[in-house]
Amino acid sequence: MTSLIARFSPKTETADALHAFLGKRGQLARIALYLYVVLIACPIRYWPLGNSQEDTWRFALNYAPTQGLAMGRDVIFTCGPLIYLLFPEHLGNNLSQGLLFQTALWLSLATIFADIFFRAGFALRNLALFSFCFGLAAPLFWFNFLGTENLMLAGALILIVIFHLRGSLTRYLSALVLVGLLPLFKLTAGMVGFTALAGFLVERAIRHRWKALPEAALAAVVPVGLATAVCLYVMPSANSILLYLRGSADVTGGFSAAMSLDGPYIEIVSALEATAILVILLWLHAAASPGMARFHALLIAVPLFVSFKHGFVRQDIHIVNYFCFVALALALVFAVCAAGGS
């Protein structure tokens, strides 16, 4: 009888009402954070014809496919054969194709974020920190006419993190597809994506040993097969693909040598401070979950180095790339620190 009275006491009813109210507010906060991140990740953009130096190479890369000029055979640049989809101009069918691709990518990213916000079971506090850091990374997604390839990279990294923690072959295959798309837009983005994937596979081999072979096999087949198939479709021959890879690598190396530019020493110090914050967070994370800290370190170590090289070889506005990638890495770590239900 006493327990029955306690069960229906005003105090208990108040606590239940308070819990329901807070739960509802928490769900609203989760939805608000989701919408914020989806807006940050919007890839839709259109660039009109201009008359600056930057406009010339953007116009050339839009003009080439409308005239049947193929990457590798007729055009050599650091960007891939589908790059015009990221900054389409009103030439031929470029604009309609570009906006269609960007819309499809946005819907895909919205689905990925829905997974992390509503299905993966992460706590609201983790998602709030993830959203804050992802917002800090936003300039990485809108840099110098480019940046959409970094959104694809971010989507792949998020899927890999969730797959590592929660599983699901669909997540892993989706991440592999995004990684496979990266070199079709920019070779260096493809290098970052494949090195991150390699770090993930090293961690899986350490943890699961030979049981990680199926995941390694998929990583060897899916992204490479997808990139090769698309290249063969849009480029005239396998030789053009090889010329694109070789030429793009040469142009990238030449660019690093020819366009190197020193900047203020304080920027290097700031970069080291940003790195220190990331390292400290991983160290604190390792105290609670050594395996997850190792996973994050292997996933982002080489991409972090590539981002530093990209940002500080030409130490001008390009340094934004490094600081924003650090913010993205922080978002990935904060999402799973003491991961659990909300």
Residues 6+ apart with CB under 8 A from 186: 78, 79, 80, 83, 146, 149
Q: Crossing angle, helix 238-258 and helix 213-234, to 10 degrees?
A: 100
Q: Are 288 and 338 in contact (CB under 8 A)?
A: yes
pLDDT tens digit sequence for 153-210: 999 999 999 998 888 889 999 999 999 999 888 888 888 899 999 999 998 888 888 8
- Residue 342 has what pLDDT? 38
More confident residue, 254 or 96: 96
Token digits of residue 212 = 């990680």
Confidence of residue 65 (pLDDT cuts 50, 70, 90): confident
3 state DSSP class of 186:
strand
Q: pTM of the full predicted structure?
A: 0.83
Residue with tokens 């993205």: 328
Q: Quick check: is 112 in a domain?
A: yes
Q: Quick check: is 128 in a domain?
A: yes
Q: Quick check: is 296 in a domain?
A: yes
- pLDDT at 85 > cutoff 70: yes
Q: Quick check: is 281 in a domain?
A: yes
Q: What is the mean pLDDT of residues 307-322?
A: 74
Least confident of 9-18, 81-90, 234-243, 245-254: 9-18
pLDDT tens digit sequence for 211-257: 888 888 998 899 989 988 888 888 777 777 787 778 777 776 666 65
Q: Are 236 and 71 in contact (CB under 8 A)?
A: no
- pLDDT at 72 > cutoff 80: no
- Residue 130 has what pLDDT? 93
Q: Quick check: is 30 in a domain?
A: no
State the DSSP H helix or E strand holding residue 99, giving kind and residue range, or none if neither: helix 94-114
**CB-neighbour burial class of residue 192 (10 A; exposed 0-12, middle 13-18, buried 19+):** buried
Q: What is the spatial distance between Cα 252 and Cα 234, in angstroms, rounded to a whole number?
A: 22
Q: Quick check: is 35 in a domain?
A: no
Q: Are 321 and 104 in contact (CB under 8 A)?
A: no
Token digits of residue 158 = 């998020």
Q: Are 278 and 224 in contact (CB under 8 A)?
A: no
Q: What is the mean pLDDT of residues 324-332?
A: 91
Where are any strands of DSSP class E within the chain? none
Q: How many helices (H) and strands (E) does the chain have?
A: 13, 0
More confident residue, 325 or 19: 325
Q: What is the spatial distance between Cα 159 and Cα 202, in angstroms, rounded to a whole number?
A: 17
3 state DSSP class of 70:
coil
Q: What is the spatial distance between Cα 176 and Cα 151, in angstroms, rounded to a whole number?
A: 14
Number of domains in the chain: 1
Q: Quick check: is 294 in a domain?
A: yes
Least confident of 7-11, 33-37, 332-336: 7-11
Query: In terms of residue numbers, what domain contains 309?
Result: 58-336
Q: Please name every residue paired with 71 in a beta bridge, in sequence order, or none if there are none.
A: 75
Q: Quick check: is 40 in a domain?
A: no
